[in-house]
Amino acid sequence: MAINIVRPTTAVTAGSLTLATYTFSPDLNMDGRSRPYVISAIGGTQSGVSVNTIDKPKIMNFRRPAQFRSPSGFVASANRFNTVPRNTFKINGKYGVNVTANQVELMTINLDINIPSGAGAQDRANVDAALLSFITGLYDQKEEIILACYDGQW
């Protein structure tokens, strides 16, 4: 199933935001393997939060590997592959934030998912569990992560 954010997303209260919603709109795909989205509308209580503009971007991009790779060089005596490359999926966010009244700088969030080639076919359940546990762990700790970005206490 392809990534396609087609409806507003809803988050729970976290940080200074209450029932925040975000409407994503598809952006121009520059390389044929990415799915960029911009935040085109917001809802809930988000005082001072802006939507995507040229001067203050709000972009989320999903990117797949340029070429999918497979394990190679099976060594029968060791019952192992000689080479197991990684297929790396990337999720990147670029968000314009003010550092002073008239200066916008980019805040970036980068997530790389490095899956050993062949693991999806051989061990789908554990790949799924790894991804789901990571995502739910982030979600469970959303408040702590937001606060830690201010007070530095991880």
Per-residue pLDDT of the chain (154 residues; tens, 9 = 90+): 578 887 788 776 777 778 888 899 999 988 889 999 999 999 888 888 899 999 999 999 999 999 999 999 999 999 999 999 999 999 999 999 999 999 999 999 999 999 999 998 899 988 998 898 888 888 888 888 888 888 877 7
- Report yes or no: 33 and 64 within 8 Å, Cβ to Cβ: yes
Q: 154: which 2 tokens?
A: 């991880």
pLDDT of residue 55: 92
Quote the pTM value. 0.84
DSSP state of 17: B
What is the reported pLDDT for 147? 86
Token readout for 136 is 């739910």
Q: What are the CA-CA distances from residue 131 to residues 69, 72, 81, 124 (Å)? A: 20, 25, 24, 11
* Angle subtended by helix axes 142-151 and 124-140, to nearest 10: 60
Per domain, the residue ranges of the chain are 9-114, 123-154
Residue-level pLDDT at 15: 74
Contact 120, 84 (CB under 8 A): no
pLDDT at res. 14: 76
Which pLDDT value is given to residue 139?
Answer: 84
What's the residue count for the chain?
154
Q: Residue for token digits 């206490």?
A: 153
DSSP reduced 3-state for 39: strand
